[in-house]
């Protein structure tokens, strides 16, 4: 009988148990609709394969660090296509946000039809770096 990978291994921290495994430990995943709606009213920057929404959290909001959410509408395709697009978005967020994101900010990555699943991965990472620089007002 085979045991699944990681079975019987306790996570080091309680946060590790709740975070999505594909997202880095310094990132927290947005799950509440209200957080997505607040991000939708904030800054946004388009890229070829996704739309980035970003907002600085108010000082009275408790969560510190970087929070990130992912979404794809049915326009992206069926469930398989949406899940593939979100996996790619999670991976670029895991690679780029710890170094280019800012603590105290919420980011939402929205997948685009025919682009998120097919765009070159390195170019998607560059797109996210550029979008973050524009949202934060950095000159590049």
What value does the mean pLDDT take over residues 19-42? 79
Between residues 67 and 16, the one the model is more confident about: 67
Is the pTM of the predicted complex or chain greater than 0.85?
Answer: no
**Bridge partners (DSSP) listed for residue 43:** 54
Is 68 in contact with 23 (CB distance < 8 Å)?
yes
The answer, yes or no, to whether residue 117 has pLDDT greater than 60, is yes
Query: In this structure, what are the phi and psi dihedrals at residue 112, rounded to the nearest 5 degrees?
Result: -115, 145
Q: pLDDT band for position 15 (50/70/90)? A: very low
Is 110 in contact with 53 (CB distance < 8 Å)?
yes
What value does the mean pLDDT take over residues 66-85? 92
Q: Diameter of the chain by CA atoms? A: 57
Mean pLDDT of the chain: 83
CA dist., res. 24 & res. 28, Å (int): 8
Query: In this structure, what are the phi and psi dihedrals at residue 24, rounded to the nearest 5 degrees?
Result: -55, 160
Q: Which residues, other chains included, contact 65 with Cβ-Cβ below 8 Å and sequence gap of 6+?
A: 26, 27, 28, 103, 104
Query: Which domains does the chain carry?
Result: 21-135 (3.30.230.10)
Q: pLDDT band for position 32 (50/70/90)? A: very high
Q: How many residues does the chain have?
A: 140
């Amino acid at each position: 009988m085979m045991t699944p990978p990681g079975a019987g291994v306790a996570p080091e921290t309680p946060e590790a148990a709740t975070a999505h495994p594909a997202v880095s430990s310094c990132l927290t995943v947005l799950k509440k609709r209200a957080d997505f709606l607040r991000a939708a009213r904030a800054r946004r920057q388009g890229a070829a394969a996704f739309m980035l929404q970003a907002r600085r959290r108010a000082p009275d909001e408790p969560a510190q660090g970087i929070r990130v959410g992912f979404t794809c509408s049915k326009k992206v395709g069926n469930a398989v296509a949406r899940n593939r697009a979100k996996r790619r978005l999670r991976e670029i967020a895991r690679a780029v946000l710890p170094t280019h994101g800012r603590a105290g900010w919420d980011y939402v990555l929205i997948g685009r039809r025919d682009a998120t699943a097919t765009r070159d991965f390195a170019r998607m990472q560059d797109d996210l770096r550029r979008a973050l620089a524009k949202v934060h007002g950095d000159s590049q």
